[in-house]
């Protein structure tokens, strides 16, 4: 909406220019509400979207990156956020996200909206399992060999969240090979010592996801804004040395209290 107003205003100011053709994707830019000093562009070669974005995936950065910043003597919220964004934006790692929300609720942008991020991809074997219902029996999909034992806790939490569905593949748009396709990624900067999310982070997560859903022209619901773990529940299962299967905490912690979808 703001963007359209800006476009109108700009056209009024420059009537001598022939009207430029509108970009075919509404997602090609940077969010106008994120100022330049909070844009840390990742200049690697990301794929342009082939399927329009229609949902948001919410992640946490994990505490490791915050600790790394602390170890370098970086303590200030804004500088820790900048450090984390630069981590995402540098080559040599296979991850990058569109947005990061710092503890004070400021939004940072790393990827333009018109490209796919690297934040929730499925490896081939994982994708094959999600194509059916077999994944519900697998307990250790990422360790090289797949153990065909049903996990102790099952996938009760996932099934409770999506009673009508069989697989996270059904949450993706038609033709999307993994959650990276058709999504926008938002990372919450981990709070030190496993502390709770700040109120500012919660407020911004609500307003940012509203703004993004508005731009994508979708309603903001529990299906258009999803935590990473709902899109890759197998990744949350692990087999301990003892052979015991344990379900790791789903991230982001306290998901149910993070977003207000209204009722």
Residues 72-111 binding Zn ion (CB under 5 A) are none
- DSSP E strands, the chain: 55-60, 99-101, 107-109, 183-188, 225-227, 237-239, 245-247
Going by C-alpha positions, the residue among 113, 114, 58 that lies closest to residue 227 is 58
Question: Buried b / exposed e across 190-204, counting CB within 10 Å, b at 16+?
Answer: bbeeeeebbeebbeb
Distance CA 33, CA 1 (A): 12
176: Cβ–Cβ under 8 A, 6 or more apart, which residues? 51, 182
Least Å distance between CB 241 and Zn ion?
25
Residue 59 binds Zn ion, judged by CB under 5 A: yes
Among 38, 82, 215, 228, binds Zn ion (CB under 5 A): 228
According to DSSP, residue 153 is labeled T
Measured from the CB atom, is 151 or 252 closer to Zn ion?
252
Going by C-alpha positions, the residue among 54, 106, 104, 85 that lies closest to residue 212 is 54
Specify the stretch interacting with Zn ion by CB under 5 A; choose among 45-53, 77-85, 100-108, 227-235: 227-235
Measured from the CB atom, is 8 or 142 closer to Zn ion?
142
Are 30 and 112 within 8 A, CB to CB? yes
Residue 202 binds Zn ion, judged by CB under 5 A: no
| β-sheet bridge partners, residue 118 | 96
Specify the stretch interacting with Zn ion by CB under 5 A; choose among 9-17, 33-41, 203-211, 224-232: 224-232
Measured from the CB atom, is 164 or 194 closer to Zn ion?
194
Specify the stretch interacting with Zn ion by CB under 5 A; choose among 4-12, 19-27, 58-66, 157-165: 58-66
38: Cβ–Cβ under 8 A, 6 or more apart, which residues? 106, 107, 108, 109
Specify the stretch interacting with Zn ion by CB under 5 A; choose among 57-65, 132-140, 196-204, 212-220: 57-65
Residue 236 binds Zn ion, judged by CB under 5 A: no
| Neighbour tally for 11: CB within 10 Å | 12
Q: How many residues bind Zn ion (CB under 5 A)?
A: 2
Least Å distance between CB 232 and Zn ion?
8
Specify the stretch interacting with Zn ion by CB under 5 A; choose among 31-39, 59-67, 140-148, 234-242: 59-67
Least Å distance between CB 262 and Zn ion?
25
Residues 126-155 binding Zn ion (CB under 5 A) are none
Contact footprint for Zn ion (CB under 5 A): 59, 228
């Amino acid at each position: 909406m703001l963007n359209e107003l800006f476009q109108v205003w700009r056209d009024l100011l420059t009537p001598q220019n022939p009207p430029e053709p509108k970009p075919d994707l509404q997602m090609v830019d940077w969010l106008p509400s994120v100022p330049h000093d909070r844009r840390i562009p990742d200049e690697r070669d990301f794929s342009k979207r082939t399927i329009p974005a229609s949902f948001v995936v919410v992640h946490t950065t994990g505490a490791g990156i915050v600790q790394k910043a602390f170890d370098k003597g970086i303590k200030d919220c804004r500088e820790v956020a900048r450090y984390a964004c630069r981590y995402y934006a540098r080559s040599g790692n296979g991850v990058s996200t569109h947005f990061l929300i710092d503890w004070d609720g400021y939004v940072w942008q790393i990827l333009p909206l018109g490209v796919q991020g690297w934040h929730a991809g499925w490896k081939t074997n994982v994708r094959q399992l999600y194509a059916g219902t077999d994944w519900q029996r697998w307990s250790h999909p990422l360790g090289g060999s797949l153990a065909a034992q049903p996990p102790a806790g099952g996938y009760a939490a996932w099934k409770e969240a999506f009673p009508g569905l069989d697989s996270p593949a059904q949450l993706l748009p038609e033709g999307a090979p993994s959650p990276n396709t058709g999504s926008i990624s938002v990372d919450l900067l981990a709070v030190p010592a496993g502390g709770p999310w700040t109120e500012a982070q919660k407020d911004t997560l609500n307003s940012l996801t509203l703004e993004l859903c508005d731009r994508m022209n979708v309603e903001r619901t529990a299906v258009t804004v999803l935590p990473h773990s709902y899109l890759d529940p197998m990744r949350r299962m692990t087999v301990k040395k003892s052979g015991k299967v344990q379900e790791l905490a789903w991230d982001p912690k306290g998901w149910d209290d993070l977003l207000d979808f209204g009722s």
